[in-house]
Homo-oligomer: A and B are copies of this chain.
């Protein structure tokens, strides 16, 4: 007499475990709702019963179960569409397409099932999953259909060892028979598969130690076919007439239970055998999918091997020799879902902000900012250190690490400076894609900036050539105000909302922006070094009827829109900032905004995709975000808040995000803290301060360096005196960083000509000045391996308690905030405001813009306003010539001297050497 395997009870036990697992998952990841979606086509009653069971058990365990019910008229495209929608929905973890598809339209079932994303394939019916199961492998076979998993669980409950037994599976469906055979084979049973065409089924069944039946014929397997002592698992559910039942029928299995139970050792009943287990494993599979998604442990990153050559070749040669991973692969490795990633070519992709929502439950990683001493023409290697440190952490220390970089302007790439992807064996690849159009963000900013500029001049022109009434009539369409126009009415204090109700004065006030030409601050932009556009006269054609005026082009990265992109947090915020852009005052001194021009929506449309950071990779295959690149003088010079935020979630609590601040620490780092961190609310864990012995020698009074000329001997031989004199610059930056309460690690980028004594001197002085450590780094020549010590020091520093504080209170008067920065950071004796600056401070206060942070526009070549004053000067005054406002971006920028916002081309620009190999498509000469 067989033991009856009580599926209901066993499933109950499983359900308790699953409920605990679900609860644990939800506890670890607040707001995570493990979700199963079931797609049903048509109205078959049996399908409805199965789905009800899945919903009931799923919900009991704590899952969300969505029932996507499509009508009987559904086409194949409709089902595929529904499945793809679920594939792309990060809120859905498992997908079941309930079979059969009950439609009057022809639908190819196999096509539909292969549409399901393999990672959400709860039923294990995608060919990839079926193949993973069908292939040899001791490990985890991925997602396997629930019924065979349930059967295997029941067999395991008997305690009988499977290996070596003869298992006979009767039936060969895709969701029971076939995968059952595979599971048993993986457990080392000898497996036979029988079916309707099997010649002598009774004989085969008689040889089965383990019998699994799923053939769909009531009581088909006879008791005397069963081998005595066999385990019998019956997957059949067949309704047979039974007058004793209220429904007139009862359910039986494929095995004649009554007869079989006398022969078998273990047997499952129907109902209450396999059925409840199937449902339990549907839930288990869904949970497995959800757990896989939320998994935030170390990435399994395929690292790229470096082939270190000596002497170190040119940047483009090194970069071109390395084949990047496909970006789809990288995205997968770092836990991004396919729906969150839009590839742009093979090696870069935009990442959707929805990932922030999906991972909102996850703790942020450590946040490290790379900054430098006061820059010299020798180059200290800040970007290279950012990339090298990320390679060291990610590919050598082995912690999840993202580098976040700014997108460079194409102007310098073709002009003087060249690209900005790092250097040597610490670069972002493909380097040419990094340095050229990337994913088009700068072009989109150019388009948006110039649409606003064109609209301003066109509006002034139309106001100047039309009567109030004509203007008003043209501005209103369909006799209705637009949303933006209603905002303008609110601003003007007009409460009427019907165009016809406005009186003449209101019409005039509404229709005329009445721009004071002399206050216009909005310039056209171009991502080209075009010096001839620094000052121009526009509107000289006859068609513009004498409305000519002087203006200028800036380089695109100097646009306020770029600063907005770098500081914004989502599309809502971006659009709001665009509405707030002030481009002039009216003749009454009121600010005129982009919203007044009804253009903010169009600007947001043009820049819609720019808000998504671009994913790339380092030379060693670790991930990089490239996003936004605002000017570091008239703007804040830091990459985007959005990319840092996404990266901090993706790396997880134990991971690192390495981001870079432009210019020296007096400017870039100060703005990073006081503008960027203030806006984002993120708290940094460590500052990496980059310096070189050579640059410190220059700060110590070393001879002038002219690009192209040979380097003076002082820089090539030991000179402890110069180092000792110049290290004051480093010391002051260390002290400044410490003021913000963040531990500092000095990265001392090594040159062949540095002597041991020079390096030791810098190390000692840096530590004495308050740095946690000062580490010699070789990542330019050696890649991440050369920055391993630096990475470990950064790791140690990031574990120290931080006491982050901002430098000033935002509510202080504008002039006070300026003074705090100048005295505390630059160490000026005083600030000298020009009359214009004083007037502007009053204007901005009156316009309500006092409570904005300060973005100093000062030379980066000295703590002072004089680029010649190296080292750590004192006893100077900071003169403020003018103050301007980027209201949309959210800061005021005092101008210390003249700031060029449009570079020029030299006699022999970089483009002389840039060429395309038309045969291979390769780019040469890019640096």
* A binding-site residues for B, Cβ under 8 Å: 75-78, 80-81, 84-85, 110, 125-137, 163-166, 172-174, 178, 181-182, 185, 188, 190-195, 197-200, 204, 207, 302-305, 323, 326, 342-346, 350, 410, 414, 432, 436-437, 440, 443-444, 446-447, 450-451, 453-455, 457-458, 461-462, 466, 471, 474-477, 482-484, 524, 526-541, 543-544, 547, 550, 552, 570-572, 574-575, 598-599, 601-602, 604-606, 608-609, 904-909, 911-916, 918-919, 921, 923, 925-926
Given A447-B437, A608-B916, A905-B455, does the pair A198, B531 have CB atoms closer than 8 Å? Answer: no
Residues of B within 8 A of A85 (CB): 323
Q: Is the CB of B457 within 8 A of A532?
A: yes
The CA of A528 and the CA of B915, in the complex, are separated in Å by 29
Residue of A178, A207, A475, A538 ringed by the most chain B CB atoms within 10 A: A538
- Count of this chain's copies in the oligomeric assembly: 2
The CA of A779 and the CA of B549, in the complex, are separated in Å by 49
The CA of A323 and the CA of B81, in the complex, are separated in Å by 8
Question: Among the listed B173, B185, B547, which residue makes an inter-chain contact with A193, where contact means beta carbons less than 8 Å apart?
Answer: B185
Residues of B within 8 A of A913 (CB): 477, 482
Q: Is the CB of A904 within 8 A of B437?
A: no
Q: Is the CB of B303 within 8 A of A77?
A: yes
Q: Is the CB of B437 within 8 A of A443?
A: yes
Q: Is the CB of B904 within 8 A of A543?
A: yes
A186: shortest Cβ distance to chain B, in Å?
A: 9
Question: Among the listed B192, B198, B443, B571, which residue makes an inter-chain contact with A447, where contact means beta carbons less than 8 Å apart?
Answer: B443
The CA of A78 and the CA of B302, in the complex, are separated in Å by 11
Offer 14 A-B interface pairs, CB within 8 angstroms, sorted by A.
A128-B131, A134-B178, A166-B198, A345-B350, A437-B609, A454-B531, A457-B532, A458-B531, A458-B904, A524-B526, A534-B543, A536-B540, A571-B919, A605-B916
The CA of A740 and the CA of B77, in the complex, are separated in Å by 43
Q: Is the CB of B530 within 8 A of A534?
A: no
Residues of B within 8 A of A129 (CB): 127, 131
Q: Is the CB of B907 within 8 A of A474?
A: yes
Residues of B within 8 A of A172 (CB): 136, 185
Residues of B within 8 A of A194 (CB): 190
Q: Is the CB of A471 within 8 A of B537?
A: no
Residues of B within 8 A of A198 (CB): 164, 166, 190
Q: Is the CB of B193 within 8 A of A197?
A: no
Residue of A303, A571, A914, A916 ringed by the most chain B CB atoms within 10 A: A916
The CA of A48 and the CA of B474, in the complex, are separated in Å by 81
Complex: chain B residue closest to A88, CB-CB: B346
The CA of A482 and the CA of B912, in the complex, are separated in Å by 8
Q: Is the CB of A905 within 8 A of B474?
A: no
Complex: chain B residue closest to A191, CB-CB: B193
Complex: chain B residue closest to A303, CB-CB: B77
Complex: chain B residue closest to A525, CB-CB: B526
Residues of B within 8 A of A440 (CB): 437, 440, 443
Residue of A173, A304, A550, A923 ringed by the most chain B CB atoms within 10 A: A923
Residues of B within 8 A of A451 (CB): 414, 528, 911
Leading 8 A-B pairs by shortest Cβ distance: A131-B131, A601-B915, A127-B131, A130-B131, A443-B443, A602-B911, A454-B530, A535-B541
Given contacts A190-B199, A477-B913, A536-B540, 20 further A-B contacts (CB under 8 A): A77-B302, A110-B135, A126-B131, A127-B128, A134-B178, A188-B195, A207-B207, A343-B344, A437-B443, A451-B528, A455-B909, A458-B530, A458-B904, A475-B912, A531-B544, A535-B540, A537-B540, A572-B918, A575-B916, A602-B915
Q: Is the CB of A342 within 8 A of B346?
A: yes
Residues of B within 8 A of A911 (CB): 451, 455, 598-599, 601-602
The CA of A136 and the CA of B77, in the complex, are separated in Å by 23
Complex: chain B residue closest to A576, CB-CB: B918
A326: shortest Cβ distance to chain B, in Å?
A: 7
A902: shortest Cβ distance to chain B, in Å?
A: 9
Q: Is the CB of B918 within 8 A of A575?
A: yes
Question: Among the listed B345, B483, B526, which residue makes an inter-chain contact with A450, where contact means beta carbons less than 8 Å apart?
Answer: B526
A803: shortest Cβ distance to chain B, in Å?
A: 36
Q: Is the CB of B916 within 8 A of A601?
A: yes
Residues of B within 8 A of A524 (CB): 526, 530
Question: Among the listed B125, B166, B450, B918, which residue makes an inter-chain contact with A204, where contact means beta carbons less than 8 Å apart?
Answer: B166
The CA of A458 and the CA of B127, in the complex, are separated in Å by 61
Residues of B within 8 A of A165 (CB): 199
Q: Is the CB of A136 within 8 A of B174?
A: yes
The CA of A477 and the CA of B708, in the complex, are separated in Å by 10
Complex: chain B residue closest to A190, CB-CB: B198
Q: Is the CB of A544 within 8 A of B540?
A: no
Residues of B within 8 A of A575 (CB): 916, 918
A918: shortest Cβ distance to chain B, in Å?
A: 4
Complex: chain B residue closest to A606, CB-CB: B436
Residues of B within 8 A of A570 (CB): 918
Residues of B within 8 A of A437 (CB): 440, 443-444, 447, 606, 609
Residues of B within 8 A of A135 (CB): 110, 125, 127, 130, 174, 178
A614: shortest Cβ distance to chain B, in Å?
A: 12
The CA of A78 and the CA of B323, in the complex, are separated in Å by 10
Residues of B within 8 A of A75 (CB): 305
Given A482-B913, A918-B575, does the pair A532, B544 have CB atoms closer than 8 Å? Answer: yes
Residues of B within 8 A of A195 (CB): 188, 190
A161: shortest Cβ distance to chain B, in Å?
A: 10
A144: shortest Cβ distance to chain B, in Å?
A: 12
Q: Is the CB of A604 within 8 A of B916?
A: yes
The CA of A741 and the CA of B414, in the complex, are separated in Å by 49
Complex: chain B residue closest to A915, CB-CB: B601
Complex: chain B residue closest to A453, CB-CB: B530
Residues of B within 8 A of A450 (CB): 526, 528, 530
Q: Is the CB of B923 within 8 A of A447?
A: no
Given A127-B131, A131-B129, does the pair A912, B531 have CB atoms closer than 8 Å? Answer: no
Residues of B within 8 A of A133 (CB): 131, 134
Given A130-B135, A164-B199, A455-B911, does the pair A919, B531 have CB atoms closer than 8 Å? Answer: no
The CA of A538 and the CA of B552, in the complex, are separated in Å by 9
Complex: chain B residue closest to A570, CB-CB: B918
Q: Is the CB of B164 within 8 A of A528?
A: no
Complex: chain B residue closest to A456, CB-CB: B532
The CA of A231 and the CA of B870, in the complex, are separated in Å by 91
Q: Is the CB of B529 within 8 A of A601?
A: no
A421: shortest Cβ distance to chain B, in Å?
A: 15
Complex: chain B residue closest to A574, CB-CB: B918
The CA of A921 and the CA of B537, in the complex, are separated in Å by 38
Q: Is the CB of A447 within 8 A of B410?
A: yes
Residues of B within 8 A of A531 (CB): 454, 457-458, 461, 539, 541, 543-544
Q: Is the CB of A608 within 8 A of B455?
A: no
Q: Is the CB of B528 within 8 A of A598?
A: no
The CA of A410 and the CA of B323, in the complex, are separated in Å by 36
The CA of A174 and the CA of B182, in the complex, are separated in Å by 12
Residues of B within 8 A of A540 (CB): 534-537, 550
Residues of B within 8 A of A909 (CB): 455, 458
The CA of A925 and the CA of B570, in the complex, are separated in Å by 21
Complex: chain B residue closest to A433, CB-CB: B609
A841: shortest Cβ distance to chain B, in Å?
A: 27
Question: Among the listed B134, B192, B453, B458, which residue makes an inter-chain contact with A192, where contact means beta carbons less than 8 Å apart?
Answer: B192
A396: shortest Cβ distance to chain B, in Å?
A: 15
Residues of B within 8 A of A342 (CB): 343-346
Residue of A85, A131, A918 ringed by the most chain B CB atoms within 10 A: A131
Residues of B within 8 A of A539 (CB): 531-532, 535-536
